[in-house]
Amino acid sequence: MQFERFLLNDVLIDTKKMRVKTAGQWTPIEHKQLALLRLLIHKAPEPVTRDEIIEQLWPNLIVSDNSVSQLIVQLRKVLGDTSKKPLFIKTVPKIGYQCIATFSHTPTLIEKSKTPNKHIPLHWMMSGVAFGFCLALVLLFDWKGDGDAQKIDYISRITSAPGAEVQLSFSPNGRYLAYSQIVSGSSQFDLAVYDLQTQTSHTVKSSGYSEQFPAWSADGNWLVYYRLGPFGCEVRALSVNNAIELWRLNKEVHLLECDGAHEPEKIIWYSKDSLLVNRAMSGEKALVKYDTFIDEHGQFELRESQILHGVQHYDVFGDKLLYSDTNDEVFKSGVNFEREATERVDLGSKISKPYFGLTESEVVSLNGDLQLHAEEQKTASIYKPYGKITELAIGRGSGHLAHTEGTAEVNLYLFNRNKAEFQAISSNSRVDTLASISSDGMQLAYVSTAPRVDPQIDHVEVWIKHRLKASPSLLTKMPKSDQPRFLLFSSDGEYLAILSEANTLYITNVFAKTPVAVVKENSSLRDIHWADDGKSIFYQTTESGERQYWRYDVGSAGNYLLADNSKSQLPLSKKNISFDGFLLSLKQYLFEVLEGQVSLDQLSSSIDLYRPAVHKNGIYYVIKQGHQLSLYNFNSFIQKNEFVADIGLHLYNMNVDLGLSTTEDGNQIILNRVENLEMDIVLHKFAQP
């Protein structure tokens, strides 16, 4: 193959930019995959043996046949091919693989111009000129609307070790990318820096403590990070104004004390005199601004100057601040938090993690894929990942964009208080969340999604398992655009209520498996709970400013307006997250009854991470201390807080719903575990306009 761009059947391969275009969409292709494709094309129509593939692609290495099989599977996926009906790569039994696709190079402009002269009527020629002129105008004004390829160019993955590389931060000049890394089997993060100029990674901190969330000073001379130990947490700054090989030996200075019970949050040191920290305060997230000083001994001094409450995620560009609130609404203001300068940014949908692009007028967001929002232009998808993207960083000094990409297993476990043991109840191949167990423990329902992005899968699945059956069964499917956010069994276990993201309430008979929409897309829908007999469900809506209370009867499939509020005296065990202030009430109740055993901030952040479960004799809840997760039960009957079990580690926020569900008597508990975290860093560069 002597061409930088060529066609394989109808698939365009761009070897220079390491990408493949299928069905109008560009997809990145790895070096190994492209090398295998080159080998297959070069040998065609002859098959290539497995031994030859190993010899060519893994010289002087001992590699199993499984490595070849996996590489073939990955290459087929990139090309949109299958083993059952191959159009590109055919398996030749007991020999190897054969390229059966048609290879052709894309014509150059010179070749396109070498067409035979024909006698074309004048009026045809003039029509063609007019049509071409109109087409050029359309392209001129509309080419930015959907052109994925014009936005960013894929470069490569820059990490591939087992484990996770996360929490990214570019240096001000764009040369260095700092990140936290954790190897498989470890419980502590190290600090590393990738040098884009030499294309090498350097570990700058590996102390046995967990060092996380690196950030650079505005002048690039300091690297700030969290250091978490078993007895405390602090924010430190490492001097980095010399050769990168010496950074690990440089002096460190103390900046701030922090609470190890909380997840470390993003720091941006945006000017010589000021830095921003996202942290928990009084049970909610807030953005705190610190003024920075250097005393006569060369030590840093930080003074808290301003607080902006409710900030979940933020980014800074110059003196501009971009942030999202608890409702995933996006706002733009100045870094001095001026209320009069704050404006809402309409991005077409709710965004939990907005970032400034290369300019102040651009916003990059994570919404399954990477999306670019530019003023007066159509939102464009600029990269469709193979795994899940959880965060990104933009090096405006160099025009680079880096993001995490990978997977984690989110599995469901049953913990039986009588046996004191965990039992896996869901598949490792899916992400299983929002579990709900029936009051008698006989039925379990949960939402299951694919762990990797697949454009062919446009739905999520709701599965149900009976305790006396070996395997779960599919209950129903729902579109990704309106997936479930809450499941609730009736008291008799015959029906499952499903509340969607768009606030549509469905009732599904677990035997008929046909969902019925009770209320459709009503933003005021709340306070959903079943009647004691399981034959009716109650809910509240608001019409013209007036609250209305309803009962849906599953027998007659009818909605009935009630005269008064039938749920006013409901006990806490009958309430759920559809009730206004439910989680806040839980936090306040637990904080009071625990009498200071756990701080409000620690309790609040832990409950935000893991949804508690209420039963007739108490509340199950999870407390996070460092990376360790521990399950507790506050027994309201005897007014005692009980340690139940350690349930694992929480190393990194994968942006999935984690929670508990329990039977009425509290003997059986369903919980999530995040396991086998694998995250790599992918590097792109913004294309020249």
Q: What is the CATH number of the domain that holds 366?
A: 2.120.10
Q: Write the secondary structure of 176-243 as one string of H (helix), E (strand) and C (coil).
A: EEEEEEEECCCCCCEEEEEECCCCEEEEEECCCCEEEEEEECCCCCEEEEEEEECCEEEEEEEECCCC
Same domain for 390 and 279, yes or no, is: yes
pLDDT computed for residue 176 by the predictor: 96
240, 222 Cβ separation under 8 angstroms? yes
- 273 and 388 fall within a common domain: yes
> Does residue 686 lie in a domain region?
no
Regarding whether 274 and 183 lie in a shared domain, the answer is yes
Q: Clarify whether residues 591 and 473 are in a common domain.
A: yes
Distance CA 289, CA 273 (A): 10
In this structure, are 76 and 47 located in the same domain?
yes
List average pLDDT for each run of 10 residues in the chain, which is 689 residues long.
Answer: 72 83 83 87 90 79 71 88 90 91 65 42 49 44 41 90 93 95 87 94 90 94 90 89 92 85 86 90 85 81 91 94 92 89 86 91 89 84 88 93 92 89 84 94 92 74 92 90 91 94 92 90 92 93 89 92 73 88 89 84 86 94 88 92 91 88 94 90 88
The candidate with the shortest Cα–Cα distance to 673, out of 449, 408, 410, 427, is: 410
Residue 563 has a pLDDT of 83
Torsion of CA 375, 393, 369, 147, to 10 degrees: 50
Q: Tell me, what DSSP letter sits at residue 514?
A: -
At 249, is the secondary structure helix, strand, or coil? helix
With residues binned 3-state (H G I as helix, E B as strand, rest as coil), the percentages for the chain, rounded to 5, are: 15, 45, 40
pTM as predicted: 0.71
Helix (H), strand (E), coil (C) string for 151-188:
CEEEEEECCCCCEEEEEEEECCCCCEEEEEEEECCCCC
Let me know if residue 330 belongs to a domain.
no
Q: How high is the pLDDT of residue 149? A: 40
How is residue 235 written in tokens? 């924010």
Do 183 and 63 fall within a single domain? no
98 and 202 share a domain?
A: no
Whether residue 287 is found in the same domain as residue 206: yes
Closest to 621 (Cα-Cα) out of 635, 636, 637, 634: 634
Same domain, 92 and 140: no
Domain limit, last residue, from 362, 379, 398: 398
In a domain, 88, yes or no: yes
At 573 the pLDDT is 82
| Domain around 639 | 407-527+569-677
425: in domain: yes
The CA distance from 36 to 53, in Å, is 7
Number of domains the chain contains = 4
Encoded amino acid at 404, one letter: T
Same domain membership, residue 386 and residue 278: yes
541, part of any domain: no
């953005």: which residue's tokens? Answer: 287
**What residue has token string 């700030």?**
224
> Are residue 414 and residue 435 in the same domain, yes or no?
yes
pLDDT, position 276: 95
Clarify whether residues 286 and 267 are in a common domain: yes
